[in-house]
A and B are shown apart, each in its own frame.
Chain A
Amino acid sequence: MQKNTRLKGKVWKAGNDIDTDLIIAARYLNTSDPKHLAEHCLEDVFPTLQEEIQAGDILVAGKNFGCGSSREHAPIAIKHAGFSCVIAESFARIFYRNAINIGLPIIVAPQLAKAVKPGWELEVDPVSGLICDLINAKEYQGEPFPPFILEILTSGGLVPYVKKKVKQHG
């Protein structure tokens, strides 16, 4: 993710407590191939996702998104299915870390998450957390990231961030 990234896409709206089994069921975890995971992303929540998703679409959910298992396969599936970011009222802790770590922008924005309807167009600045509802020309402020987490995201994830540190310290 670049510092001046703007993400623009159509909203897919999910409810509360979307668990990682719903995001990618364990029956697909016999491989970690992103393409295979993406093909089954959220298949029991959005049966038409594969046919209808367009690169850059935005996933918006209620509270406790990503609860349950620690499987990093969940944010990988979301990222490779074509979603540019996830916005929710709140995130489960392991999912939150995993998304940041793999460089998938996620934003806590309860007001937007409650107001938004499927199909709306949003423009998102993942760095500042500012979200623009392009249909109604209304702005929402999501929670900004602490600087340290922002640094991980703008490095492209935790591994590139740590790699940089390893290099610096020999």
Chain B
Amino acid sequence: MGMTVTEKILAAHAGLDKVSPGQLINAKLDIVLANDITGPLAIKEFEKIGVKKVFDKDKVVLIPDHFAPAKDIPSAQQCLDIKNFSRQQELSNYYEVGRTGIEHCFLPEQGLVVPGDVVIGADSHTCTYGALGAFSTGVGSTDLAVGMAMGEIWFRVPETIKVVLSGKPKNPWVSGKDYILAIIGKIGVDGAQYKTLEICGSAINDLSIEGRLTMANMAIEAGAKNGIIAADEKTEEYVKLRAKRPWKVYKSDPDAHYEQIIEIDVTDLEPQVAFPHLPSNTRAVSQAGNVPIDQVVIGSCTNGRFEDLWQAAEIMKGKKVHPQVRTIVIPGTQEIYLQAVQEGLVKTFIEAGAVVSTPTCGPCLGGYMGILAKGERAIATTNRNFVGRMGHPESEVYLSNPVVAAASAILGRIASPEEVM
């Protein structure tokens, strides 16, 4: 029997010819990532292990992005902790505010992750890099500490669920976000628990790399260990311009074993909205009803890339944000921000009455830069709508793609793009 793309990558990194689901392996790590929240805890644990240096100073990446630029004194200390550790360990991949952005937007953009990699990150959305055909998964700070020290970590080889998306959406406002919300809506927030979500099909071939990054990013919202989209010509074209290292393309064998195959025809799919308080609580935007909103957030590691901002700007161009609504646009990285300035997107947002923030995870996890008061309601292009995720436990978050969020900003309620175009 053949192997899936995930099994092939794991086997190659474990020095084995073959692995199968359930097997416990030790895999070598290509990138080990942490941020200002999880990094300080990982450093504390690292210091207990008894090794002086990280396994490879080029393979440990530390990014201040969650509460950075620092929101308060303790957060500033956490940012300083990862900065000091980076200096002391002479890491080549520490990036100060102003030269980075949201980690999962930044690493692919800078070619720090490439197809065929095994990546762990102390951030659950590390699964994003699966969009480039890498095995990439979120871990806690202790696993990360061990990864930094040893350059390898144990995994249980996951079973794979294959999701085949076919067709071409008739609705022009459907994007990768809607595909992944539709998948999560179908299988539930634990539908892929401990497993791989391998996503493929003609709709994926047609999807941009940005759209694929959005999809793999939210694999964790179905409980998956990793989401993966095998690299194709589009991926190689994207990587070619950025990669700092050689890469290797793996594809699933035709006779690979899948625990389950799910087929979804996207022809009639509409933009999706996930209602509070689970990402699986999805409805088509046309079925949202009258939901007035107080805040719109366009950004995050899910939808803070240039294509996302460009689409939102197309909707907002020449229009005004509803007087009762505050709209916060957050470019994912400095490079995206600069391109948004150069191509007039920032002007569009500001003229419409939105604020444009420095790159940060900020409001997505209820950190800062747009916290909700009791009873307030937001629509956001982010990834989680759990109780209290963006602020007060009695606030509400609705998840959508960037064009639905932009249309909602203008009408002051959850709205379809066609209502404003």
A interface vs B, CB < 8 Å?
A: 17, 19, 21-22, 25-27, 29-32, 44, 63-64, 67-73, 75, 90, 92-94, 97-98, 101-102, 146, 148, 157-159, 162-163, 166-167
Contact = CB atoms under 8 A, between A and B. Distances in A.
Most buried by B among A146, A159, A163: A159
A164 to B, nearest CB: 10
Interface of B: 24, 37-38, 40-41, 44-45, 48-51, 66-67, 71-72, 74-75, 77-78, 121-124, 126, 138-143, 145-146, 149-150, 154, 189-190, 193-194, 220, 223, 225, 278, 365-367, 384, 386-389, 393
Given A21-B386, A70-B38, A148-B24, A162 B140 contact: no
Nearest to A99: B140
A17 B37 CA distance: 23
A27 B193 contact: no
Contact of A71 (B50, B126, B140, B143): B140
Nearest to A63: B190
Contact of A30 (B67, B384, B389): B67
Given A30-B71, A158-B142, A162-B146, A22 B223 contact: no
Contact of B140 (A27, A97, A166): A97
Given A21-B387, A64-B189, A70-B122, A163 B50 contact: yes
A64 B75 contact: no
Contacts of B44: 32
B233 to A, nearest CB: 32
B142 A98 contact: yes
A155 to B, nearest CB: 12
A78 to B, nearest CB: 13
A1 to B, nearest CB: 15
A31 to B, nearest CB: 5
Given A71-B140, A72-B41, A166 B124 contact: no
A115 B121 CA distance: 37
A98 B145 CA distance: 12
Given A64-B190, A159-B45, A27 B51 contact: no
